[in-house]
Structure 1
């Protein structure tokens, strides 16, 4: 069994830690606040006060934090992983962050003899809890094979895309397809309402035809039922779209749907709904269209 340092025990990290413990691995977990790790400590993990302490004896160090700057801090900041991990350790980053920064991080770790895989995931907290995540991998194929038994404990689909950063690029593609779709669903809901059509009946018709999709099945009922409780918090999609827009600008790409949805997500968060579900894009549209049939902006 492997010795694993795990940094981050939030909605995604905690169930992943639980699955690894259940498979018999030894886990040392770092969180900024000790109480945030109490649930996994109760399951058998040990808590570490710093990322370095979590990494010191580890075969693998997993990171699951929010933003690019957070990953850089836990890897290279004071008390970071890079200063304590042994050569040959594999860093597995499950965060969704910049592909450009990921390549830089991999190079910096390689100078210390530490390997890295970028392994952003799709499936949300429900996928983490059920160990059915789709894991998108960038890095060396031979390093992936070392890590595969751990990843198979966490997900049902593991796809090796290419070199460092490639996993993050494809996760960005995933977010574009997913959230542009959510925006389209919100616009269809608004259009139906404005024309006096019951959105729930519209949803049944769309689900049976070519417009049917997993996102429609998830987000359509939430919008129609005005259930904006978070599945995935909208602020995280806003963060991801900020990364995508920055990359499109650096590459000189015109991606108008992505740019529009990024603006809508910014408006959503600006209205104070960042910790609500991304289905709240409907509420943004309603606010911009006061003449439309609006059942309420609760």
Structure 2
């Protein structure tokens, strides 16, 4: 089976950029998202529209999904008018949503029962990585299937790593989110300290971004904080979902993660202030006394 016909389910902040890269690479892309109007520019760029996920899946060689929550993943695969309803033997399904490892295994089992293949492939890099085609992609599933789809993943990804069997990609993404959560606190506190000490925080960032303190969040989200730009490259509400998954998995492994628990409590306070649809860099607001 060729892999030229692609179905892409979920064209949000990151998904829309991924679809653009696929179209530019001359793949035939059929899309489905809950609100057709939000996908208008993709349709103008050459993507075909389907009324349901199952309809988008019918003629596809490979199906990508990038939706919000584990419940959305389960619904889009197993629910009415879902992917499995429109599936056929030999198809490959690739879920790029950050979801639970257990759900990744459940989807793989259903796929195998239908003579299909499944890869869990959550990504990191936010809106910037999606736009630049430099996403980090963490993959779990059959290694032979991973090798088969790697050329497609390279269209919009840079660091594409096979992590192990089904669920391994999702576990790796939990490691990623754990590292980001506590790092984001450090970025915010460093900038707040610089301001309180009377320094120019932009100049401070020039010094510390390239040293041992350097991180993606410091280089990419630090400047956004200073500009007062809190629009989402990655939503707070989705980050909280990820932290909840990680803490649940950690509890089952009897692993204590106090840093992650602190980050979750701080982000929950932002949600209580109505900021769930802002970007994760809005944590900086916690350090602004006037806010």
Counterpart contact for 2:69–2:238, Cα < 8 Å: no
Within the candidate set 136, 141, 144, 1:142 is matched to 144
CA 1:16 to 1:235, structure 2 compared with 1: closer, same or farther past 3 Å? same
- Runs of 4 or more consecutive aligned structure 1 residues displaced over 6 Å after TM superposition: none
RMSD: 1.8
| Aligned-pair CA distance for 1:5 | 1.1
What secondary structure is seen at the aligned counterpart in 1 of 2:221? Answer: helix
Are 1:113 and 2:120 matched, yes or no?
A: no
| 1:227-246 correspondence runs (5 A) | 227-246=229-248
| Aligned-pair CA distance for 1:277 | 2.4
Counterpart contact for 2:21–2:156, Cα < 8 Å: yes
Match of 2:158 in 1: 156
Within the candidate set 27, 46, 50, 1:25 is matched to 27
| Aligned-pair CA distance for 1:115 | 0.8
Are 1:212 and 2:214 matched, yes or no?
A: yes
Counterpart contact for 1:234–1:275, Cα < 8 Å: yes
| 1:18-57 correspondence runs (5 A) | 18-57=20-59
1:43-75 superposed Cα distances (whole Å, 9 cap, x missing partner): 112111111101111110110101111111111
With normalisation by structure 2, the TM-score equals 0.92
1:9-59 superposed Cα distances (whole Å, 9 cap, x missing partner): 111111211211222221111111222222111111211111110111111
Match of 1:173 in 2: 175
Q: Which has the larger radius of gyration?
A: 1
Match of 1:198 in 2: 199
Within the candidate set 131, 134, 142, 2:133 is matched to 131
Q: How many residues get paired?
A: 288
Larger displacement relative to structure 2 (148-157 or 64-73): 148-157
Gaps of 5+ in 2: none
Gaps of 5+ in 1: 287-293
CA 1:147 to 1:133, structure 2 compared with 1: closer, same or farther past 3 Å? same
Are 1:281 and 2:283 matched, yes or no?
A: yes
Counterpart contact for 1:189–1:199, Cα < 8 Å: no
Counterpart contact for 2:97–2:121, Cα < 8 Å: yes
What secondary structure is seen at the aligned counterpart in 2 of 1:92? Answer: strand
| Aligned-pair CA distance for 1:222 | 3.1
Q: Output the CA distance in 2 between the equivalents of 1:32 and 1:154.
A: 23
Counterpart contact for 1:241–1:258, Cα < 8 Å: yes
Counterpart contact for 1:199–1:224, Cα < 8 Å: no
| Aligned-pair CA distance for 1:228 | 2.5
